[in-house]
A = this chain, B = another copy of it.
Amino acid sequence: MTASGTFGYGREMAEMVDLNRLGALVVKTLQLEARPGNPSPRICETPAGMINSIGLPGAGIEHFLAEDLPFLRRYETPVILSVAGCRVEEYEALVRRADECEGIAAIELNISCPNVKQGGLAFSVDPAATAGVVSACRAATRKPLIAKLTPNVTSIAAIARAAEDAGADAIAAINTILAMAINVRTRRPRIATNVGGLSGPAIRPVAVRMVWEIASAVRIPVIGMGGIMNAEDALEFILAGATAVAVGTATFRDPAAALGVIDGLEAFLREQGIARIRELVGAVEVWR
């Protein structure tokens, strides 16, 4: 799978990457209305990672449904919509709208974006707020609902359980970790919103830990992400309990990173004589 916000709306990637080979394509998070996004600079590099504060720019869900979805439907790959709003009602409206559309396999609730002023992060730092969004959306659709969680919490397991109890069909984790970098000569934060979200290999060990905690706490599937560069990284998440994995920041360095992960996983299964990757899900042998 691709991680939301790192693969555009698929279109941008179509001539570089065979979209049909992807397990699923999660599009950049959509909102009800068009948004310009945050001021620049929006990104900066950090050791083995990067900080971003993009701020969910986009032309809005109607534009996507009219212009981009028809293009994606030419491919066989399941399309997962990612949506965000400032209030519960906006999430609900987005989900209701998506529910009507064919060619959308599932809906991911981005309740963990650190880079928008209202909403976003505010929901998934709190179990009750998480449950509120998820249950409202649950009532608005029969499509599978994925709750995407933030790592910026004391106990992600508690949030995941709240999402599960409120009717989420899966958990996606993790979104980015709040971070800051400062240009010591200009004394300015390197990101125009001062704080942004850290992603890339640097955060992988934190993401694997959180996926393990979530998988130990819920029964619904977990979609693991955070710094996956190759098949071995993906396997860490799978062993920790992820049923699926998503590639994000790696795509920026190598547009075909997601396909590389798929190829690598197949090679690993062959090498180890494992019939189905399911056998590896949660198969970590913890020390006691």
Hey, which chain B residues are within 8 Å of A286, CB to CB?
A: 188-189, 194
Bound Cα distance A192, B198 (Å) = 27
The reply to whether B187 and A46 form a contact with Cβ atoms under 8 Å apart is no
Is A209 at the interface (CB under 8 A from chain B)? yes
Of the candidate stretches A69-77, A101-109, A137-145, A233-241, the one touching chain B is: A233-241
Is A120 at the interface (CB under 8 A from chain B)? no
Q: How far is the CB of A127 from chain B (nearest CB, A)?
A: 11
Bound Cα distance A233, B202 (Å) = 16
User: For window 254-288 of chain A, which residues contact chain B by CB distance below 8 Å?
Assistant: 268, 283-287
CB-defined interface of A224-249 with B at 8 Å, one 1/0 digit per residue? 00010000100110011000000000
The reply to whether A206 and B189 form a contact with Cβ atoms under 8 Å apart is no
Bound Cα distance A203, B187 (Å) = 20
Bound Cα distance A203, B46 (Å) = 9
Chain B, Cβ-Cβ closest to A211: B180
Bound Cα distance A236, B236 (Å) = 32
List the number of copies, as a whole number: 2
Is A149 at the interface (CB under 8 A from chain B)? no
Is A220 at the interface (CB under 8 A from chain B)? no
Is A181 at the interface (CB under 8 A from chain B)? yes
The reply to whether B198 and A181 form a contact with Cβ atoms under 8 Å apart is no
Is A37 at the interface (CB under 8 A from chain B)? no
The reply to whether A179 and B208 form a contact with Cβ atoms under 8 Å apart is yes
The reply to whether B198 and A205 form a contact with Cβ atoms under 8 Å apart is yes
Q: A39-B287, A193-B287 are in contact. Are A179 and B205 (CB under 8 A)?
A: yes
Chain B, Cβ-Cβ closest to A194: B286
The reply to whether B125 and A209 form a contact with Cβ atoms under 8 Å apart is no
Chain B, Cβ-Cβ closest to A227: B47
Hey, which chain B residues are within 8 Å of A180, CB to CB?
A: 205, 208-209, 212, 240
Hey, which chain B residues are within 8 Å of A178, CB to CB?
A: 206, 209
Is A147 at the interface (CB under 8 A from chain B)? no
Hey, which chain B residues are within 8 Å of A152, CB to CB?
A: 154
Hey, which chain B residues are within 8 Å of A48, CB to CB?
A: 47-49, 201-202
**15 A–B contacts, CB within 8 A, in A order:** A39-B287, A46-B201, A48-B201, A177-B206, A179-B208, A179-B209, A180-B208, A181-B205, A182-B235, A188-B286, A188-B287, A192-B287, A193-B287, A194-B287, A198-B206
A-B contact sample (16 more), CB < 8 A, given A182-B208, A182-B235: A47-B202, A47-B227, A48-B202, A51-B205, A153-B153, A153-B154, A180-B240, A181-B205, A187-B283, A188-B284, A188-B286, A189-B286, A192-B287, A195-B212, A198-B205, A198-B206
